[in-house]
A and B are shown apart, each in its own frame.
Chain A
Amino acid sequence: MTANDRKFNVPVYIVIFSIAFGFLLPFYFMIVTSLKTGDQYLVQKTLPTLPLTMENYQWAFQSQDILLNYVVNVVVLVGTVVPFLFLVMTSGFAIGKIHFRGRKLSLYLISAVMILPQMVLTVPLYRELAQLKLLDSLFGLVLIYLAYFGPYSAYLMITYFRDVPDTYVEAALMDGASPWRIFRNVMAPMAVPMIVTVTIIASQQVWNELTFALVLIRSSGKRTIMAAMALLSGQYGMETVRSMAMLLLASFPMLLVYLLFQRYIQQGVLAGGIKG
């Protein structure tokens, strides 16, 4: 370390810390504003005011539409994640560890569809789901989520399983274990860190998704909270204090996941970037 380095450090700290706090500012504003009444907000828009009020949260919990849309989001999330894990783990194991005919083709297919933007798929999917009688159905939406978000996580699982030494599989085969047993008792337990990463990635993708939920679900009772809010934001008259409470509630599950598992989220970012 030279003197020059140390002199350089103080401005760097200032920059780094002010940017870090800058990224927290929106949440400061959301929290502080959601605890004001509409009148308090009109007088004081930036600083906290006393007395604090919970009326915006009470409003959100008493509004049946919001509550229903919220429950739909939870249902879709849970309904997707469980089959999702099964799909990406089995295909990750097969393509990562078994040398079968069509392995390269499967890998190629999975990496090719990862790039597809959501909106280009909406029209043909609308037609296809209508033909399958799955339009405006949460089950149909879950199927689309599995097909659209599955490939990315499957790719992460493939790269993970590929790095597991073949000797584990060979030893288990010598012991007479069936492929299913090898998958369940040998490979799956080894993949726990990647399973956690993939679960978090999938939860975020599904919880935050707008395009498919907006277009493929038509009746308001089946809307996810994201689709409902996006439609609401076009209308005027939504009070700032109420919308901040609603936004905090809508992002709360993902903020909680982030606080608890941020190491895995950072790993997910890195794992995805390596594919280059």
Chain B
Amino acid sequence: MKRSAYFFVSPLILLILIFMVYPTLSTLYLAFTEWNGFSDPSWTGLSNLRRLFGDASFYASLKNMVILTLYIPVWAIVPLFFAELIRKPRKGAQFFRSTILIPYVISPVVLGMFFKQILGVEGVVTELIAQFFPSLGTVGFLTSQQLTIHTIAFITLWKFFGFGVILYYGAISKISESLYESATLDGCNWVQTLLHVTVPGIRYTLQFYVVLGFITFYARMFPLTFTLTRGGPGFASFVPEFGIYYQAFNNSNMGYASTWALFVYVIVLGIIMVQNKAMMKD
């Protein structure tokens, strides 16, 4: 029986080693080479790193990451608020749960194309706003240097809203009903109940969802952003993934692209390490 376990487990483990672990390790090497994708990579030491720290797009991506970070509280708190709202069985709660999860199952490419159409200069939302709020004029949701990254942040929040509500809702339903009853007896109002019963009861889920938020905003923005703006206008919505994409597949700088990839690895590792520390404390 024990020997057969290796037979059962080896196909997946082999695939992981070949197509996930080995590429991860080879990035450590490629990041310090110059390589055009055809000839052999040649070792160049730290010159790629120096290039990264002198790259304007690198600082643009850092700035966009900072802006996206500001949306993490919204990401974590708004779904929690609505999960608490549908905690008690209410009419319409099932309908609510069904519709809010739809964007989560739709491809980011479809969402991106859709929003590009309705938020464009001649898009229906832009025109309606210009019609009802003439003082705003034509809003450059996807063409303004300042606004674009915020538009993308809001679409991402919208896409994951349902996921967050369902996740919290499931965690909340596991909290003992007696805790809520005693909170009511103690005269806790709605906000106090949320803070003193719900939040402590779901703190692991909350932590998981915050970590997912950081990973999404820092390292999983590419499909939506690529479809919407290609990282532009200029570097207005340039996130680190575009550094990898453009350097590798537009400019054939595969070595330098790997340096960008290394940067994203460091971010993800940083998030995990902070999370592990937070869990140790508990």
Contact = CB atoms under 8 A, between A and B. Distances in A.
A124 B245 contact: no
A244 B72 CA distance: 31
A207 B5 contact: no
A98 B103 contact: no
A95 B92 contact: no
B64 to A, nearest CB: 15
A269 B107 contact: no
A211 B222 contact: yes
Interface string B139-166: 0000000000000000000000011001
A120 B106 contact: no
B96 A98 contact: no
B5 A230 contact: no
A17 B2 CA distance: 54
A90 B11 contact: yes
A4 to B, nearest CB: 10
B105 A204 contact: yes
B267 to A, nearest CB: 9
Interface in A222-275: 226, 229-230, 233-234, 240, 243-244, 247, 250-251, 254-255, 257-258, 262, 265-266, 269-270, 273, 275
A115 interface: yes
A91 B109 contact: no
A258 B105 contact: yes
Contacts of A126: 37, 248, 254
B16 to A, nearest CB: 6
B22 interface: yes
B107 A207 contact: yes
A104 interface: no
Contacts of B113: 229-230, 233, 243, 247
B87 to A, nearest CB: 11
A16 B86 contact: yes
Interface string A43-60: 001100000000000000
B21 A91 contact: no
B107 A147 contact: no
Interface in A158-184: 173, 178-180, 183
Contact of B92 (A16, A24, A118, A269): A16
Contact of A254 (B6, B105, B264): B105
A110 B41 CA distance: 30
Interface residues of B, number: 92
Interface string B193-237: 000000000001101110000010001101100111010000000
Interface in A43-99: 45-46, 86-88, 90-91, 93-95, 98-99
Interface stretch (B23-31, B43-51, B55-63, B175-183): B23-31
Contact of A208 (B19, B107, B127, B162): B107
A122 interface: yes
A147 B264 contact: no
Contact of B5 (A94, A151, A208, A255): A94
A229 B224 CA distance: 12
Contacts of A234: 230
Contacts of A23: 99-100, 102-103, 162
Contact of B9 (A46, A91, A117): A91
B227 A233 contact: yes
A19 B83 CA distance: 13
A204 to B, nearest CB: 6
Contact of B101 (A16, A121, A147, A262): A262
> Which residue among A86, A88, A124 has the maximum number of chain B CB atoms within 10 Å of its CB?
A124
Given A16-B85, A113-B20, A234-B230, A119 B222 contact: yes
Interface in B70-100: 82, 85-86, 90-93, 95-100
Contacts of B207: 276
16 contacts: A13-B91, A94-B6, A109-B17, A116-B20, A119-B244, A122-B249, A150-B12, A209-B107, A214-B226, A229-B113, A240-B123, A243-B117, A255-B102, A257-B105, A273-B171, A273-B205
User: 3 shortest A-B CB distances, which residue pairs?
Assistant: A124-B23, A208-B107, A94-B8
Interface of A: 8-9, 12-13, 15-17, 19-21, 23-24, 26-27, 29-30, 45-46, 86-88, 90-91, 93-95, 98-103, 106, 109-110, 113, 115-128, 130, 143-144, 146-148, 150-151, 154, 173, 178-180, 183, 204, 207-211, 214-215, 226, 229-230, 233-234, 240, 243-244, 247, 250-251, 254-255, 257-258, 262, 265-266, 269-270, 273, 275-276
